[in-house]
Amino acid sequence: MPRTLSHDECVKLVRSPVRYRRAELSVDGRDPFVRTCLVLDNGDFLVPGDRGLVRTAAGRTVTVTVTHRNRHVPGGWTVSGIGLARPLVAADRPVPLPRATEQDLDFRTGVRVVVARLTGQLVSVAEEV
């Protein structure tokens, strides 16, 4: 049976072992898209992008979902949150910016999704089959 996760447990999962996660984002319930995001200590997501992303998402509700599948114990998890997007400002970027393993991400333009609360579920290996 899946176990429901608290906000703090969700933040620990999405930030460990790396702070960058591929997340599925949906602006105002529109079709989702996938982006690599930086997860902050409080559970907010920094989403690098271009001016088009800022125009599309800023001031709107964004749903963020991160899913991790693991064939070993303890299994996989899914974490979701809803927040308000706002354009990135210089103060949003942590200094130094953690190193990205996939690619060099440019955080000069993009949005910060201010998440009020993350919720999630932990699924055991037996349940995933």
Over residues 17-38, the mean pLDDT reads 93
Tokens of 45: 């997501």
In the structure, what pLDDT confidence band is assigned to residue 129 with cuts at 50, 70 and 90? very low
Q: Tell me what pLDDT residue 72 has.
A: 62
Tokens of 20: 């960058």
Mean residue pLDDT across the chain: 87
In the structure, what pLDDT confidence band is assigned to residue 127 with cuts at 50, 70 and 90? low
Q: Is 15 helix (H, G, I), strand (E, B) or coil?
A: helix
For the cut 80, the answer to whether the pLDDT of residue 101 exceeds it is no
Q: Tell me what pLDDT residue 64 has.
A: 98
The DSSP code for 18 is -
For the cut 70, the answer to whether the pLDDT of residue 117 exceeds it is yes
Q: Tell me what pLDDT residue 100 has.
A: 60
For the cut 80, the answer to whether the pLDDT of residue 102 exceeds it is no
Over residues 86-108, the mean pLDDT reads 78
Round to whole Å and give the CA distance between 123 and 126: 8
For the cut 70, the answer to whether the pLDDT of residue 125 exceeds it is no
Q: Is 126 helix (H, G, I), strand (E, B) or coil?
A: helix
The model's pLDDT over 46-85, given as tens digits with 9 standing for 90+, comes to 999 899 999 999 999 999 999 988 766 567 899 999 999 9
Specify whether the CB–CB gap between 71 and 125 falls below 8 A.
Answer: yes
Q: Tell me what pLDDT residue 71 has.
A: 66
